[in-house]
Structure 1
Amino acid sequence: MKQLRLGVLAGLFAGAGVLAWGGARLWDSFGGLPSVPLAASVVLAVIAVILLATALSIRARLRAQRERRPGAKGVEPLMAARAVVFGQASALVTALVAGLYGGIGVFLLGYLDIPPRRDQAIYAGAAVVAGIGVVAAAFFLERVCKLPQDGDDEGRGATAAR
């Protein structure tokens, strides 16, 4: 399984942002711009919390297993792999979605004197911040589930758990 790369996520974010900015300009020239839902930032924040909770749970279980605590539940490799795949997929989709809202937010910066557009810009900014939280949680989850391979001095290894 390949690791997440910040450059790929940043490229997706920037590409989606540029396209959304251009689309918002075009759409606004024909009439009204669709609104940015407040729920976008809420959903992204919930995904970030789920990823963070999963990472903390796996980390605690791995620590308990490593310390050989009595009654410690181990981490199944397939469960850890599924968690990492969920985190990676969430980060990729979130980079696109946050880029979309970021591009719309940049377009709306020119209309901050209009109260409804200012609210939409705030919602778009909140969605971008929540998207950054999802990406950070996905990187943390990937780091938690990573074990070094034999003979690997840099600590890089396969993404799995014992």
Structure 2
Amino acid sequence: MKPLRPALLVGIAVVSGVLSWAGAKLWDSLGDLPGVPAAAPVVLAVVAVVLLAAAVSIRARLRAQRDREPDAKGVDPLSAARAVVLGQASALVAALAVGVYGGAGVFLLSQLDQPARKAQAVTAGFTVLAGIAVIAAALWLQHICRLPEDHDDDPTAPAAR
């Protein structure tokens, strides 16, 4: 499994943000732009907390296992891989959400004179922050679950006998 690169997530957020801003501008010129759902930042914040809890738990178990503490509960490799996959999928969706709500939020900033638009812009801002929290937690979880470097392909490494 390859690690998820932050540049990919930034690219997804930027492209979806530009498309979202253009779509919001077009939609608003044709009719009434739909509102930003109030549940969006809450859902992303819950996902960030779940990923953070998984990362803290796996990190503590790995440290206990490394320090050879008695009664240390090891980390099942398959469970760690599943956690990383969940984190990577969450980060990709969060990058998309950051872009979509960021683009819509930038468009809504031009209409702050309307109270409803101001509330929607604030909600979009909180959604962007929660999405960034998901991305940060997912990348940290991925970092914790990485395998030690394999030096089998290194020609300067001493050969195993």
- TM value normalised by structure 2: 0.92
Structure 2 counterpart of 1:82: 82
Instruction: Give structure 1 regions of 4+ aligned residues with deviation exceeding 6 angstroms.
Output: none
Q: Distance in 2 between matches of 1:45 and 1:26?
A: 30
Q: Distance in 1 between matches of 2:83 and 2:75?
A: 11
Q: Note the alpha carbon deviations across 1:10-47, whole angstroms, 9 max, x for none.
A: 11001111111111011101111100011100000000
Structure 1 counterpart of 2:17: 17
Structure 2 counterpart of 1:95: 95
- TM value normalised by structure 1: 0.91
Q: CA deviation at 1:101?
A: 0.4
Q: Note the alpha carbon deviations across 1:100-148, whole angstroms, 9 max, x for none.
A: 0000000001011111000000000100000000000011001110121
Does 2:57 align with 1:71?
A: no
Matches within 5 A, 1:2-151: 2-151=2-151
Equivalent AA in structure 1 for residue 34 of structure 2: P
Q: Note the alpha carbon deviations across 1:59-112, whole angstroms, 9 max, x for none.
A: 000111111111111000000000000000000111011100000000001011
Q: Where do 5+ consecutive residues of structure 1 fail to align?
A: 153-162
- Which deviates more from structure 2 when the two are superposed, residues 129-138 or residues 62-71? 62-71
Q: Where do 5+ consecutive residues of structure 2 fail to align?
A: 153-161
Equivalent AA in structure 1 for residue 33 of structure 2: L
Kindly report the root-mean-square deviation, in angstroms, between the aligned alpha carbons of the 2 structures: 1.0
Sequence identity (%):
64
Q: Which has the larger radius of gyration?
A: 2
Corresponding residue pairs, total: 152
Q: Distance in 2 between matches of 1:4 and 1:49?
A: 20
